[in-house]
Chain A
Amino acid sequence: MKCIITIELGTNAVRVFAFDLHGNVIGSQRGYYPTFHTEPDYSEQDPDQMFITMLYSLKNLLNEHIHPKKYKVASICFSASMHSVLAVDKNGNPLGNAITWSDNRAKKEADKLKSSALGKTIYTATGTPLHPMSPLMKIAWIKNKDKERFRQTSKFLSIKSYIIKQLTDEYIIDYSIASATGLLNIHKMKWDADALKFAGITAAMLPDLVPVFTRLGKLKKAYQSSLGLPADTKIIVGSSDGCMAILGDGVKGEGKATITIEDSGAVRVMGDKVLKDDKQRFFNYLLTEDRYVSGGPTNNGGVIFEWFTRQFGDFKNPFDIEYSMQELIAEASKAPAGSEGLLFLPYLLGERAPIWNANAKGVYFGLNIKHDKRHLIRATIEGILYEIYSIGKTLEEHRGIKLLSVNGSFANIPFCTQMIADIFNKPVQLRQNFHSVSYGAFLVAATEMGIYKNLDEATKTVVLPDEYLPVKPNHTAYMKYFKIFERLSTKLAPEFEEIANLQ
């Protein structure tokens, strides 16, 4: 029996899944790696620890679920979080840690480019918002602020490129991850000359571009033997977590959007054209040459409710945050939709889409003497989801959305899923206990193997059984308050800036 293994190099952990050829999960394994914040704006990860953790998790999965049941691993397909940058020297050895998407050190580089005409040209060409998350800005930062590292750098890699280099000895990057670097011209599918110039590098300092289906060279002998994998195991480069999530939810064209909410969140649509937005609010990433994944990311997803739970949850069982969250949600459900006029702006971590304001802060608004704990909890959740809606609403200016699917640990909480349906006034589909990113990677690998003719055929197999239907009166209630939420989110900009300076 053959199986397909998917490896997702996520923000906090690597997730390894094994699927049979029908897409059923045989087993999975998760391996955490830490993020280091050595300076306030820094977020870094150790590429070697990520590699070892990936290897160890893969090995455990193989030894527990694959080898004992005599499965043959047909292929291994990768996905990874976007926007990471790792500088390596001429021997391929890391120069410092990998810089992750949430790193904000390149604020100045981003601000400067954003306010210039060149910025608009680069955004239009590359599809990546001009933001410190973008590798374009990070490389520019290294060039300006860490000259010694820049001088020694032979190549700038994504973390996935580094991991694959360890396994097969090739420097490659797939179009999806590349399209999130701010350096790829997504129309010409080549590195963009203007962006390269701004970053101060040449195309030779970046890995080779390949389509997501690309089969890489053989696994190095040492790993064949330590993992117990045959030499003909295919290594498929795969895509980014964002593109895989929408693919794994079965979206193949217009009319449907996918909402992902883990710690952070995003609303994404897929289409054969780039979304053009004068306000530069969206990203446009490439899945394949004729499929663009467009949308907007928020910093303030489940991480905000976790923060709230840590402050106000009961924690009857020490460290059991899930249980405390459930208890809070049970209380929140006792307050009416709209929390009787209590609003929450969830910008504890600043915000990306749609307001793109790094100085934005959290706000409870409309608090009166009759509000109690239930309202505060409910308003917190509503605020997080209003923010998701405000991204969805701006997307709807460009694309019709009739149906939603949700994934991610926060969006999958039934109370939240129903609230998403009510706020958007659209039916919501989800698949419980399933990881959309990994399933997307399975679909890519299975398509590469010829099990499906193409990705359209592959996505047809996605069945999302659970459907949440919107409750009209709730929608009406939410919309009354959302109007105020939306106005507040931009109205407070000067005060956000002033308070940010004081903090």
Chain B
Amino acid sequence: MHQFVFQQGLSGELQLFPHIIELGAKKNQAIHLNSFPQSVSECIRIYYVNEGKFEWSVNDESFILYPGDVSLIKPNEKFGSGKGVLEIGSISWIHIKIQNHGNNELLSGRWSSLSETESQAISKVLLMNNMPVLSKLPEVGRILRYIHDEIFNQEIGFSTRANQLIDELFIIITRHLTKQNNRGRDFPKVFMQLEQALRQNLSQQWTVEEMAAIAGMGTTLFNEKVKSYTGFTPLNYLINIRISEAIKLLKKIDVSITDIALDTGFYSSQHFSTTFKKLTGYTPSQFRKNNLSYD
């Protein structure tokens, strides 16, 4: 691929694509000072290494990338070369502006044809990801090239195809992320990681699709595995966690029952109360009265 940089506002090619802030490819043949300084952006940034070896820093943690590797930088993360220098080699990249409605949905822009649930699941996986480098994902390089070709050549249907390719880019990255640590061998480990993710984000509403995506599995296999491993469906298992956490909070006087309901992921205090009573026989307030710790 030849070298180019399209930038939003400067390059006419991006006029129909307000969500693409930057798209580029570069073959670097000499080392220049300050050619790749660290920066922070509100975009999602994706960098792909075609050739060479690059030492990059994401949020002050340093990573080495080889050809075929991808760096995925979340909004507001600091990214660049630790030494400020771009090494010799060839890279391509894209910066995508994301919607921020505060609902953890990244890809809800009108350009995307992902369904709402799939978009939410992908956003959740991307936001919760702590591994800024994905190894051996050549599809990303290919898709970036196709996006460039579509935008550059402007053949009939190009805007639809370019946007579809961006969707595909996110789908491929998400799938790879969830499978990176999971070779289909260790379900207990995968489940433990999911458990942790659920606990850390207990106030969120979770769908089975999202949980399956975090576990890196299709929903059919996921349902079956969770049921046989835990004895519960994924959503019922989640209720176990929600209620056990609620029990702990109910024993502390300074948290209101409405807050407990919302903190532990129930729609409302009504929903909390019904579920709690069904399982324990007590309403949350009765339970609190029986178990309060007075110091």
Q: A57 at the A/B interface (Cβ < 8 Å)?
A: yes
Complex contact B281–A310 (CB within 8 A): no
Residue of A nearest to B251 (CB): A93
Partner of B231, one of A29, A49, A227: A29
Contact with A along B251-295 (1 / 0, CB 8 A): 100000000000000000000000001111110001000011110
Partner of A319, one of B187, B241, B251: B187
Chain B interface, number of residues (Cβ within 8 angstroms): 36
Chain A interface, number of residues (Cβ within 8 angstroms): 35
Q: A198 at the A/B interface (Cβ < 8 Å)?
A: no
Complex contact A31–B231 (CB within 8 A): yes
Contact with B along A40-59 (1 / 0, CB 8 A): 00000010110111011101
A53 CA to B279 CA in the complex, in Å? 10
Residues of B within 8 Å of A71, CB to CB, are: none
Given A48-B248, A52-B279, A93-B291: A319 and B231 interface contact (C-beta under 8 Å):
no
Complex contact A91–B291 (CB within 8 A): yes
Complex contact B280–A32 (CB within 8 A): no
Residues of A within 8 Å of B230, CB to CB, are: 13, 31-32
Residue of B nearest to A319 (CB): B187
Contact with A along B36-77 (1 / 0, CB 8 A): 000000000000000000000000000000000000000000
Residue of B nearest to A53 (CB): B240
Complex contact B279–A313 (CB within 8 A): no
- Minimum Cβ distance to chain B for residue A125 (Å): 36
A225 CA to B281 CA in the complex, in Å? 6
Q: B247 at the A/B interface (Cβ < 8 Å)?
A: yes
Q: A321 at the A/B interface (Cβ < 8 Å)?
A: yes
Residues of A within 8 Å of B185, CB to CB, are: 310, 313, 315, 319, 321
Interface of B is mostly: helix
Q: B157 at the A/B interface (Cβ < 8 Å)?
A: no
Residues of B within 8 Å of A34, CB to CB, are: 192, 195
Contact with A along B116-156 (1 / 0, CB 8 A): 00000000000000000000000000000000000000000
Residues of A within 8 Å of B4, CB to CB, are: none
Complex contact B229–A56 (CB within 8 A): no
Contact with A along B232-253 (1 / 0, CB 8 A): 1000110111011001100100
A57 CA to B232 CA in the complex, in Å? 9
- Minimum Cβ distance to chain A for residue B273 (Å): 13
Q: A20 at the A/B interface (Cβ < 8 Å)?
A: no
Residues of A within 8 Å of B281, CB to CB, are: 220-227
Residues of A within 8 Å of B241, CB to CB, are: 49
Residue of A nearest to B244 (CB): A49
Given A55-B279, A223-B281: A32 and B293 interface contact (C-beta under 8 Å):
no
Residue of A nearest to B225 (CB): A319
Residues of A within 8 Å of B292, CB to CB, are: 91
A49 CA to B230 CA in the complex, in Å? 13
Complex contact A310–B186 (CB within 8 A): yes
Residue in B277, B281, B294 whose Cβ sees the most chain A Cβ within 10 Å = B281
A221 CA to B280 CA in the complex, in Å? 11
Residue in B247, B279, B293 whose Cβ sees the most chain A Cβ within 10 Å = B247
Complex contact B293–A226 (CB within 8 A): no
Partner of A318, one of B221, B237, B244, B277: B221
Q: B183 at the A/B interface (Cβ < 8 Å)?
A: yes
Residues of A within 8 Å of B248, CB to CB, are: 48
Residues of B within 8 Å of A224, CB to CB, are: 281
- Minimum Cβ distance to chain B for residue A218 (Å): 14
List of 10 A-B pairs having minimum Cβ-Cβ separation, nearest first: A222-B281, A226-B281, A318-B184, A49-B244, A32-B230, A30-B231, A319-B187, A48-B244, A48-B247, A31-B231
Other A-B pairs beyond A91-B291, A315-B183, 10, CB < 8 Å: A31-B232, A34-B192, A34-B195, A48-B244, A52-B244, A52-B247, A55-B280, A223-B281, A313-B185, A318-B184
- Residue numbers of A with Cβ under 8 A of B are 13, 29-34, 46, 48-49, 51-53, 55-57, 59, 89, 91-93, 220-227, 310, 313, 315, 318-319, 321
Q: List 6 A-B contacts (CB under 8 A).
A: A29-B231, A32-B231, A51-B247, A93-B251, A226-B281, A315-B185
